[in-house]
Structure 1
Amino acid sequence: MEDLPIIQKTYDLIKWYVPILTRLPKAHKFTLGDRMINKLYDLLEGLITARYAKQKITQLKSLNTQLDILRYQTRLLLDLQLIPIYRYEYAGKSINDIGTDLGGWIKQQNKF
């Protein structure tokens, strides 16, 4: 069975983002870094679970909230000068792409 594009995009974001987050300074690595890593893994797990769920809409809306939290956490990394602008832009684009796919999935589920 092929992965949904949103699942693959989330997987790719995790592969790219986790090594960056694990190299944060100690003062942020075990707080913001760990929270973001856990949020990314939760997002991937939630998307996979939603794929097989009968009633997807509630779970998808919850994942949308998690994605928004990741957006703010990513912006916080930039504002605290923990990542350079080019990494912020890449992460933001990736998160927005996932958000677009998630929004489309929610819209499709609202039709049922």
Structure 2
Amino acid sequence: MLYITWLVPVLEQFPRSQRFLLGDRLQSLALDLMDVLVEAQYRKSPRAELQRANLLLEKQRLLWRVAYNLRLADVRRYEHAAREIDDIGRRLGAWLKRLGPSTA
């Protein structure tokens, strides 16, 4: 996942106080997202995992906004993160659409 390989070195540049708070949270969410997507690939009906992935993406969007507002990330990095997260979101949406309407 390209997002994670980009994310880790960026988070290492956060100030020490935030690297272990906000940085760790962003990294954990990204790794959780990767785990959920792997699980979804092997499920007969992955809808629950994909919905969980969408929630993890939304949490990352909010944390990136916080990082930008606290000036931990410059506009270039913030925009790159937003594009990556949006791209992943579009792919999740397409996957969910292929599954058809929810039966719940």
**TM-score with structure 1 length normalisation?**
0.86
Q: Which has the higher contact order (CA 8 A, sep 6+)?
A: 1
Report the counterpart of residue 68 of structure 2 in structure 1: 78
Letter in 1 for 2:89: G
Q: Report deviation, 1:49.
A: 1.1
Q: 1:48 aligns with which of 38, 45, 56?
A: 38
Determine helix, strand or coil for the equivalent of 1:53. Answer: coil
Q: Report deviation, 1:111.
A: 4.5
Letter in 2 for 1:46: V
- Residues 91-102 of structure 1: pairs in structure 2 closer than 5 A: 91-102=81-92
Q: 1:87 aligns with which of 69, 77, 84?
A: 77
Identical counterparts, % of pairs: 35
Count matched residues.
102
Q: 1:25 aligns with which of 7, 15, 39?
A: 15
CA distance in structure 2 between the partners assigned to 1:110 and 1:28 by the alignment: 41
Q: Report deviation, 1:23.
A: 2.1
4+ runs deviating over 3 angstroms:
none
Unmatched tracts of structure 2, length 5 or more? none
Q: Report deviation, 1:31.
A: 0.8
CA distance in structure 2 between the partners assigned to 1:110 and 1:73 by the alignment: 31
**TM-score with structure 2 length normalisation?**
0.92
CA distance in structure 2 between the partners assigned to 1:59 and 1:110 by the alignment: 15
1:14 corresponds to 2:14: no
CA distance in structure 2 between the partners assigned to 1:15 and 1:59 by the alignment: 22
Q: Report deviation, 1:109.
A: 1.5
